[in-house]
Chains A and B, each alone.
Chain A
Amino acid sequence: MLNLILKDLLIQKKTLGFLGLYIIIFSIAFQSVGSGAFTGIVIAVTYQLVVTASSLEEKAGSDIILNSLPISRGKIVAAKYLSVILYGLMAVLGYVIYSSILSLVPISVSVPSITPESLAAAFAGIMVMNSIYYPVYFKTGFIRARIISFILFFAFFFGLMTLFEAASGKSSNAIFQAIAEFFNSVDKTQFSLMIIGGALLFMLASFGLSVKLYKGREF
């Protein structure tokens, strides 16, 4: 299993090299969103790594090799789901390193700090987003699933950042204000744990579905 995950990192070495650049560009472009920018960055980086890995698998036709080796289809699927968490952690680490460096140099770029809510939203976001994407990917392959992944990325990236903007209470929009009121009335730690728990359950159900679909797939 670990080797499947490492293999995914190895085949996209070039993309990993650009990871820092993504973080810098996104953090500058979405400074105004506050801690939502961090959530957006984690979602964007994870999306990029998941899509690159999927496209390289498709390009190589690697399903033929992977399924000719003594590796169960369940493990192949599990490795992809675990990779999502790993990519998220890598994005967080990259963000922490980037913000630490910025704090040491005299540049007037503000880097929003990581809050428990933004961290929970980021991980819940990548888990739910990829839990929708992977069953389609394992059923149809990347060529057909990439449209879904593209739509999901935009929905989650802008959706979550809009939600953070709304929660900040700066907007005069009635819906945004209602959202802000809701967020102010709940226990943030409890709420964060709840959405992570929900996302985890959703991911487990999605994993089960993906295994079932991949087991029925022909190459």
Chain B
Amino acid sequence: MENILEIRNLTKTFQGFTLNNISFSLPKGFITGFIGPNGSGKTTTIKLIMNLLRKDEGEISIFGLDHIKHESEVKNRIGFVYDENHYYEELTAEQMKRFVASAYNNWDEEKFTSFARKFGLPLNKKIKDLSRGMKVKFSLAIALSHDADLLIMDEPTSGLDPVIRSEILDILHDVIQDENKGVFFSTHITSDLDRIADYIIMIYKGEILFNKTKDELIEEHAIIKGPLSLLDTSLKNSLIGIKKGKYGFEAMAASREAADALVKAGATAEKPALEDIMLFYTRKENGNA
């Protein structure tokens, strides 16, 4: 399987935070969800990919090209949507679009017009007068109108109502029908990824905890509830994020075998959502076990 993005041993240190030697890759033709609580390193990773931050160590290769040596070529093929609006508030959406369009080699005006119509974008309105949802849709229309092969999205759905979020997810689903494209979708709203993601990478405190297909992840994890007595056995070692109550406990089993063994021993197992997996992994790290 060909990778659209490869990150190897990437390290970046700030005061009080280190993105610690992370490595992962994104295959073509899939949506990869990048999850983790706020402050885990999601935005730092994206800024490093976009060369908005300088890496301390490591390699970033996009479309097989070094992201700094071939910066312009690579950025021509990337569409981006960030969590905040950084477009000029005083310009109208039309003026902003004209400026951005001039930067790309493959700008497709017809495509943009079609997205603008589909999203109901008021192009004559100033950016500052657009709602948060419209600003995200505008960014998305821009990102999708220059034939980008990789779409990088940093928390695009945070602060949006469920209707707009759903519309955006549908669009991403359409985008990925082209098997040469890839989407890297960072979010802490994991329910969005339950719907559309193929792969899930979880980052926490600057380290990658796992990088698997969503189905594999959900298949091998289970929410376990059982009596406290089970925690006195060796089965406890296969549990993550144990939360003890007065009469029982709740935890996450990180393998099917562990879940089966616990069920045999008297516990119950439930299929987790991505949010459960993220919460149990971070709970473990929080030391609440």
Chain B neighbourhood of A7, CB < 8 A: 88, 91, 99
B99 touches which one: A3, A56, A70, A218 (CB < 8 A)?
A3
Q: Judge whether A219 is part of the interface by a CB distance below 8 angstroms.
A: yes
Q: A10-B95, A219-B47 are in contact. Are A60 and B105 (CB under 8 A)?
A: no
Chain B neighbourhood of A59, CB < 8 A: 89
Segment among A42-50, A61-69, A95-103 that sits at the interface with chain B: A61-69
Q: Judge whether A170 is part of the interface by a CB distance below 8 angstroms.
A: no
Chain B neighbourhood of A70, CB < 8 A: 71-73, 75-76, 103-105
Segment among B79-87, B203-211, B247-255 that sits at the interface with chain A: B79-87
Chain B neighbourhood of A11, CB < 8 A: 88, 90-91
Q: Judge whether A216 is part of the interface by a CB distance below 8 angstroms.
A: yes
CA distance A41 to B72 in the complex (A): 40
B103 touching A61 by the CB < 8 A rule? Answer: no
B87 touches which one: A6, A12, A60 (CB < 8 A)?
A60
B86 touching A216 by the CB < 8 A rule? Answer: no
Chain A neighbourhood of B75, CB < 8 A: 68-70
CA distance A218 to B103 in the complex (A): 21
Q: A69-B100, A71-B72 are in contact. List 8 more A-B contacts (CB 8 A).
A: A3-B102, A7-B99, A10-B91, A67-B51, A68-B75, A68-B78, A68-B80, A70-B73
Q: Judge whether B256 is part of the interface by a CB distance below 8 angstroms.
A: no
CA distance A216 to B68 in the complex (A): 12
Q: Which of B53, B88, B89 has the most CB of A within 10 A?
A: B88
B: contact size bracket: 20 to 34
* Closest chain A CB from B22 CB (angstroms): 18
A69 touching B86 by the CB < 8 A rule? Answer: no
* Closest chain A CB from B84 CB (angstroms): 7
CA distance A68 to B78 in the complex (A): 9
Chain B neighbourhood of A71, CB < 8 A: 72, 103
Nearest-CB residue, chain A, relative to B82:
A64
- Write the residues of chain B forming the contact surface with A, with a CB cutoff of 8 angstroms: 47, 50-54, 71-73, 75-76, 78, 80, 82, 84, 86-91, 95, 99-100, 102-105
Chain A neighbourhood of B52, CB < 8 A: 64, 67-68, 218-219
Q: Judge whether A72 is part of the interface by a CB distance below 8 angstroms.
A: yes
A: contact size bracket: 20 to 34
Nearest-CB residue, chain B, relative to A57:
B88
CA distance A68 to B153 in the complex (A): 12
Chain A neighbourhood of B80, CB < 8 A: 68
Residue contacts A-B, CB under 8 angstroms, 25 given: A3-B99, A3-B102, A6-B99, A7-B88, A7-B91, A7-B99, A10-B91, A10-B95, A10-B99, A11-B91, A56-B90, A60-B86, A60-B87, A61-B84, A64-B86, A65-B100, A67-B51, A68-B50, A68-B80, A70-B71, A70-B104, A71-B72, A218-B47, A218-B53, A218-B54
CA distance A76 to B90 in the complex (A): 20
Q: A3-B103, A70-B72, A70-B105 are in contact. Are A56 and B88 (CB under 8 A)?
A: yes
Nearest-CB residue, chain B, relative to A6:
B99
Q: Which of B75, B84, B99 has the most CB of A within 10 A?
A: B99
* Closest chain A CB from B136 CB (angstroms): 14
CA distance A174 to B44 in the complex (A): 61
CA distance A11 to B90 in the complex (A): 6
B54 touching A216 by the CB < 8 A rule? Answer: yes
The 7 closest A-B pairs by CB, nearest first: A70-B75, A69-B103, A3-B102, A219-B52, A70-B76, A64-B86, A65-B86
Chain B neighbourhood of A65, CB < 8 A: 86-87, 100
Q: A69-B75, A69-B100, A70-B75 are in contact. Are A219 and B90 (CB under 8 A)?
A: no
Nearest-CB residue, chain B, relative to A3:
B102
Chain A neighbourhood of B73, CB < 8 A: 70
A13 touching B71 by the CB < 8 A rule? Answer: no
* Closest chain A CB from B10 CB (angstroms): 15
Nearest-CB residue, chain A, relative to B146:
A70
B53 touching A219 by the CB < 8 A rule? Answer: yes
Chain A neighbourhood of B76, CB < 8 A: 70
Nearest-CB residue, chain B, relative to A13:
B90
CA distance A12 to B88 in the complex (A): 10
